[in-house]
Amino acid sequence: MRANRPPFRVALIQMRCSTDAGDNLRRATAMLRDAAKGGAQVACLPELFLTQYFCQTEDAATFDLAEPIPGPTTEALAEVARETKMVIVGSIFERRTAGVYHNTAVVLNPDGSLVGKYRKMHIPDDPLYYEKYYFTPGDLGFKSFETAHARVGTLVCWDQWYPEAARLTALQGSEVLFYPTAIGWHPSEKAEFGEAQASAWETMQRAHAIANGVFVAAVNRIGHEGPADGGIEFWGGSFLADPFGRILAKGSRDREEIITATCDPRLQEETRRNWPFLRDRRIDAYAPITQRFLDGG
């Protein structure tokens, strides 16, 4: 994290994903260009934006959707980065080799160069979220990337529930943590649990912002995907929180839109001076955190 870095403008691309990958890429790149016209310097796309959320079922043929990095999608995003002079965070189904696939976030600089990639570390296995079938757990560790406009930390969806992930990424100097996301309601549960689920999701990430003194951006998709009598209704609500946990900008539940806000690193400096949580950490006492559970067995 460089001292006295100027403020930077962030754009969150909240979009609907169709069954046509080419259409998704065209609309995503168009929204990125619109974000740049609105002054954005750093932009982030939702998780696995190129396709509908395929982890609702287990189908070996779906592995055909995966691609290498660098590959066609990173090349397309790199072209937009060069054209717009933006930093772009994208989410890709990565083919590493036959039988080894990852859910990967890439970071591209304004010159189109690949700054780096992060492979999703926490992989869920829940009804309609059968990610363990598709994704090998990340092996690159938690990552923070120095870009032309900001020091960017990248995490992905299920990672957002883990304070350890946010802390280890923030400790590398991140000014903003991006969470490309695909999260929504099971329609049969929405009436009873919907409000509480969405509130918990937002609260957890705002807590990461406060605990670590960083900006946090959650970038979700919208729309219903899957069978009409089931599937997932993605709840949108993409937002950017500041180091106090305050919501600077937030998207709707059901519209494609570009959510923008300005991040001022001076606020991070001021917040950490007054809430010096990193200073007061008892790193000498945290060794048990590496155990699964402290039950003596």
Catalytic positions, written as ranges: 47, 120, 157
Cis peptide before 70 (omega within 30 of 0): yes
What does the alpha-carbon distance between residue 254 and residue 90 come to, in Å, rounded to a whole number? 21
What contacts 270, CB < 8 A, 6 or more positions away? none
What does the alpha-carbon distance between residue 191 and residue 235 come to, in Å, rounded to a whole number? 13
Exposed (0-12), middle (13-18) or buried (19+): which is 245, by Cβ within 10 Å?
Answer: middle
Torsions phi, psi of 135, nearest 5?
A: -115, 125
Q: What one-character DSSP code corresponds to residue 46?
A: P
Q: Is the dihedral of CA 219, 214, 107, 137 positive or negative?
A: negative
Q: Three-class SS of residue 16? A: strand
From residue 128, alpha-carbon distances to 59, 121, 125, 192 in Å are 13, 19, 8, 18
Task: Give the rounded distance of the alpha carbon of 92 from its chain centre.
Answer: 11
Structure token digits, residue 190? 């929405």
